[in-house]
């Protein structure tokens, strides 16, 4: 890995002992440093190399937009039977009101594509996320987001109730989702744990599940687990107010993430998924 880092940087890299870093439940994270250069590294089993390659491409896509800071990826590869991704190490912990993050996220969403999806599939957590280019947003969300998660739920045996409600929801899609947004560049997995601030107070986003979609899906997820204050939302709305009907669509968009959690972790997320679908169906009368 050190040899690969040196090749990518164009200068030999001989790190000191690695430092363990806190992380999520999916990857092992370490910091590598030779006293001059500092790199953040995520490790996983060899079969997850594709996940890291997609993450690196997603970080580049977000960085190229020039709207909000992300760690620049350096390289991905294999070492001792493990897959890895190496990226810029950014010390976090700076203070911010959140307003700058709201403004910069709105600027990111101004970067748009001709269709919904992305150039490759990636992952949401540890789950595959299909990103086939699709002209129509409602069709994209039906097939490649909720539909895919419901198929995963069936494979994982999450219960008859989830399947029954899911079938009704798929049949009611046109009535529930009468919306034609622009395809905005999204982080894709923007909860509070994936936003930090550097030592100058600049927002930093990381661990993306990048694709082009409805910006409201991004804002909805920021509300799902909390961690984004009033200043964040006020600043976003000042740059680009949300469309009418967002409050209903918010539940629709967040159902995707709760179903994904149900597929990964089971437990209370299964019941929460069912309640969200019942709420959406009840709105049809």
**SS in 3 state form for 16-70?**
CCCEEECCCCCCEEEEEECCCCEEEEEEEEHHHHHHHHHHHHHHHHHHHHCCCEC
- Residue 120 confidence (pLDDT): 97
Q: How far is CA 198 from CA 2, 229, 248, in A?
A: 25, 18, 34
In this structure, are 205 and 256 located in the same domain? yes
In the predicted model, is pLDDT for residue 187 greater than 90?
yes
- Residue 38 confidence (pLDDT): 94
What mean pLDDT comes out for the span 103-118?
A: 98
Residue 94 counted as domain residue: no
In the predicted model, is pLDDT for residue 109 greater than 80?
yes
In this structure, are 123 and 242 located in the same domain? yes
- Residue 82 confidence (pLDDT): 95
SS3 category, 14: coil
β-strand partners of 116: 134
What mean pLDDT comes out for the span 195-211?
A: 95
- Residue 213 confidence (pLDDT): 98
- Tell me the residue range of the domain where 137 lies: 99-282
Of 32, 57, 88, which residue sits at a domain end?
A: 88
User: What CA–CA distance (Å, rounded) separates 72 from 165?
Assistant: 42
Name the catalytic one among 80, 136, 178, 189.
Answer: 189
Tell me which of 58 and 16 has the higher pLDDT: 58
Residue 157 counted as domain residue: yes
Query: In the 3-class helix/strand/coil scheme, how is 220-278 assigned residue by residue?
Result: HHHHHCCCCCHHHHHHHHHHCCCCCCHHHHHHHHHHHHHHHHHHHHCCHHHHHHHHHHH
- Residue 285 confidence (pLDDT): 66
Taking the CA atoms of residue 63, residue 69, residue 70 and residue 71 in that order, the dihedral angle to the nearest 10 degrees is: 110
In this structure, are 180 and 246 located in the same domain? yes
Q: What percent of the chain has pLDDT over 70?
A: 99
In the predicted model, is pLDDT for residue 22 greater than 80?
no
Of 88, 115, 137, which residue sits at a domain end?
A: 88
Average the pLDDT over each of 19-28, 120-129, 195-204, 227-236 and give the range with the smallest value: 19-28
In the predicted model, is pLDDT for residue 167 greater than 80?
yes
Query: Could you confirm whether 189 is annotated as catalytic?
Result: yes
If you average pLDDT over every residue of the chain, what do you get?
94
In this structure, are 118 and 254 located in the same domain? yes
Residue 93 counted as domain residue: no
Residue 236 counted as domain residue: yes
Q: What percent of the chain has pLDDT over 90?
A: 86
> What global pTM score does this model have?
0.95
In the predicted model, is pLDDT for residue 26 greater than 90?
no
* CATH code: domain of residue 129: 3.90.1200.10
pLDDT tier, 24 (very low <50, low <70, confident <90, very high otherwise): low
Residue 210 counted as domain residue: yes
In this structure, are 49 and 125 located in the same domain? no
In the predicted model, is pLDDT for residue 23 greater than 70?
no
In this structure, are 103 and 84 located in the same domain? no
Neighbours of 278 (CB within 10 A): 13
Structure tokens, 161? 């109730």
Residue 35 counted as domain residue: yes
The listed range with the strongest mean pLDDT (15-29, 169-183, 254-268) is 254-268
Residue 54 counted as domain residue: yes
In this structure, are 145 and 249 located in the same domain? yes
Q: Among 234, 122, 266, 124, which residue's Cα sits nearest to residue 190?
A: 124
* CATH code: domain of residue 28: 3.30.200.20
Residue 215 counted as domain residue: yes
User: What CA–CA distance (Å, rounded) separates 141 from 136?
Assistant: 9
Of 88, 108, 138, which residue sits at a domain end?
A: 88
In this structure, are 56 and 154 located in the same domain? no
In this structure, are 80 and 160 located in the same domain? no
- Residue 95 confidence (pLDDT): 82
What mean pLDDT comes out for the span 215-238?
A: 96
- Residue 239 confidence (pLDDT): 96
In this structure, are 202 and 275 located in the same domain? yes
In this structure, are 77 and 133 located in the same domain? no
- Residue 264 confidence (pLDDT): 95
- Total domains in the chain come to 2
In this structure, are 12 and 129 located in the same domain? no
């Amino acid at each position: 890995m050190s040899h690969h880092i040196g090749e990518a940087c164009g200068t030999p890299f001989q790190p000191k002992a690695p430092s363990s870093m806190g992380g999520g439940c999916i990857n092992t994270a370490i910091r590598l440093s030779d006293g001059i250069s500092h790199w953040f590294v995520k490790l996983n089993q060899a079969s997850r190399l594709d996940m890291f390659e997609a993450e690196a491409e997603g970080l580049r896509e977000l960085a190229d937009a020039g709207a909000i800071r992300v760690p620049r990826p350096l390289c991905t590869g294999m070492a001792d039977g493990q897959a890895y991704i190496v990226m810029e190490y950014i010390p976090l912990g700076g203070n911010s009101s959140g307003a700058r993050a709201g403004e910069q996220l709105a600027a990111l969403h101004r970067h748009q594509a001709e269709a919904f999806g992305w150039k490759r599939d990636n992952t949401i957590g540890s789950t595959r996320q299909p990103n086939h280019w699709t002209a129509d947003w409602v069709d994209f969300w039906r097939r490649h987001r909720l539909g895919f998660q419901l198929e995963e739920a069936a494979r994982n045996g999450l219960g008859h109730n989830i399947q029954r409600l899911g079938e009704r929801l798929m049949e009611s899609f046109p009535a529930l989702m009468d919306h034609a947004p622009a395809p905005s560049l999204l982080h894709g997995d923007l909860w509070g744990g994936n936003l930090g601030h550097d030592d100058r107070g600049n927002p930093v986003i990381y661990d993306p599940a990048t694709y082009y979609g409805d910006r409201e899906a991004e804002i909805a997820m920021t509300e799902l687990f909390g961690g984004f204050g009033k200043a964040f939302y006020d600043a976003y709305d000042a740059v680009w107010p949300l469309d009418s009907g967002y409050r209903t669509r918010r539940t629709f968009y967040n159902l995707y993430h709760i179903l994904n959690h149900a597929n990964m972790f089971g437990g209370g997320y299964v019941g929460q998924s069912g309640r969200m679908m019942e709420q959406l169906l009840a709105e049809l009368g």
